[in-house]
Structure formats: C-alpha cells, structure tokens
Structure 1
Amino acid sequence: MKKIPLLPRYFRWIGLGLVLMFLIPTALYLLKENSILITNYPRIKGVEIMPFELSFSTFAVLGGNDGPFEIINTEMSLTLQLLSIFLGLSFIAFTKYKYEDEMINSIRLYSWSWSIISFAIFNVLLIAFVYGSWYISLAFLSPNIILLLYIIIFRFQVFKMNRRLAHEE
C-alpha cells in the first residue's frame, strides 16, 4: 500500500483552533463599525481587487520606486479571517485518521472526487446567478468550500462505514 503523506493527528486540534479563531475577527468586525485591525501591510503594486479596500495612503515602496511592492494602510480582518479558516480547514483535512488502511484511503479518494464535483456545480451556479461584490466574496472562499466539502463527505463516509461495521458484529 502506498502511503499518503499526512499530518500527525494533533494537527486536527490546531486546525479546529484556527477555524475558531476565524470567528474572533468576524465578531469584532460585526460588533464594531471601526475596525481595530487597521495596519500597514505590503501588497503588489497596482493590484486593487476589492472595492472596499481601505487604501488611505502609500507610505513607502519596498525596493525603490521600481520595486514590485508598496506599503498600504489597510484593514486586516478579512486577510486574517481567510488565512485562519484556510489553514485550519487544511490542517483538519490533511491529518491522519485514527486507523489508516486501504478502506480509509478509498474513502479519501471518494470524498475528494465528490467534493470537486460538488464544487464544480457550485461554481457553475455561482457564475450563472451571482454578480458584483457577492461574487468576489464567494470566489475568495472557493478553496475553503472545497476543503469543507471534503471534510463533511469524508467524515460522513467514515461514520457510515463504522455504523455498518458495528451492525455486522
């Protein structure tokens, strides 16, 4: 059996902590209209994707005037939210299961396949029916949606397998 390189089991708890940390900046953002997470942050010059970006002023340019980066004063809660939930879901998705065998590997492959198929359907519906800033917001969550679908399908399939094995005994 070919082994899949996976993270140790304790990374699942680290991932859960990171996903829960996603809720803290979200709660701060919803409770306060003035964000406390405004800071200087480097970005690639000339890239302005988000219409609600708070680019107050450019302070310095890294690497001279011709460098590829500039420092902006921006609100960091969205960046922290996306980073914490992506890393958290990645840690949860790529950790070893309690008993790794061929059946678990088969369930992993099945779950990845169905998460990609489900995401493709979701993406077609997103492109067809969602426009403007909602589309941009949902497009930024795309990697998280794939990971979340995989985790849900994998856990459900393992639950079904364990239930079937318990009934056979």
Structure 2
Amino acid sequence: MNQGGAGMLYYTNYDSPLGSILMLASEKALMGLWLPGQTIDQERLAQACRRDSAPMLEQGRSWLDRYFCGQRPTPQEIPLDPQGSDFRRAVWHRLCRIPYGQLETYGQIAREMAEPKGGKMSAQAVGGAVGHNPIALIIPCHRVIGANGNLVGYGGGLALKKRILQYEGVDIRDLHDPKRKRNQ
C-alpha cells in the first residue's frame, strides 16, 4: 500500500453483478471503492473529476473484471492508497492477506496483530478499522466475521456480504446474523 499525497483525483462507476461500484483513484493508486449501499467519502469525491480512462481507474476496472470472472485477483496486484490512521492502515494491510474464499474472525486478526508487540488488541478495535475500509472488495473486509460464525458489520449490509461470500464459494449455511437471532 502506498502512502503519500493524492495529487489529481478521478472517479468512475463500474457496472458489476452486485450493482454500480464507485471507484476513486489518484494518478498513482486506487483510493476508494464503494459497493452499493456503502457510505461514500463525499468530501474526497468532491475533489475528484469524473474520468473513465484514468490509468488507475483502468487498473481497478481490470481487477474487477477478473474478480467477477472468477480469476481470483489479489489486492497486491493493484496499487492501493487507503487514507486513514496508521492503525487502520495496518489492519487494512492485514486484511489483504486473507485468501479468496476464506474467512477470519476479528479476534484472530486482533491476536495476530498484537502478538509481535507482546500485548493485547481488542476485536472491537479491529472491527472499527475494518468498518472504515475505503476500498471494499479489493481490501477484503467481507472475509472477516465475528466469533462463532456471526456475520457482523458490513457497510453495504449483511445481505450484500453474504452475496459476496457466496460468490467466492464460501458455504454460508453456518454463518448467522446475531441480531436476527436475538429478535426471534
């Protein structure tokens, strides 16, 4: 992942099987990707020009084409520059190592990230960073679940999260919405 100034910003829409995806890029990296129903960084978008042919948007489009054709591209194949605190960037970097079609829990990620420092990290802190991921799908926040198979938190809603996981071949039968369980 890159870090640094954005320079000129460009955006475009990508028509996908999930609906219209909004991409935002600088001249050097993809900086935003929002799926239908996700909250868009309107402040950053207001600084951008609509342009369908910017090089980083083309790379984003190519990545998405390959993803939706089942070719399993990795986040490392495209320059990414998500904007956020050092902690959030560290969590997003860690998410990029979750393989296609596999799941990890917030707790697993927290334990792994805390281990080198000899301390502890809360799953909620990781969840907060995951929830602010500005490059959905490519930085695979949809592959993170709560303890005991709980499908918790997804900016585009749990139905979209399930749909993406199914698209990747994840068996979602044992995953559940804990809020729905409480309301039954």
Kindly indicate which of the two structures has a greater share of residues assigned to helix: 1
Larger radius of gyration between Structure 1 and Structure 2: 1
Shorter-chain TM-score: which interval?
Answer: under 0.3
Using structure 1 for the length normalisation, give the TM-score: 0.23
RCO higher in structure (CA 8 A, sep ≥6): 1
Using structure 2 for the length normalisation, give the TM-score: 0.22
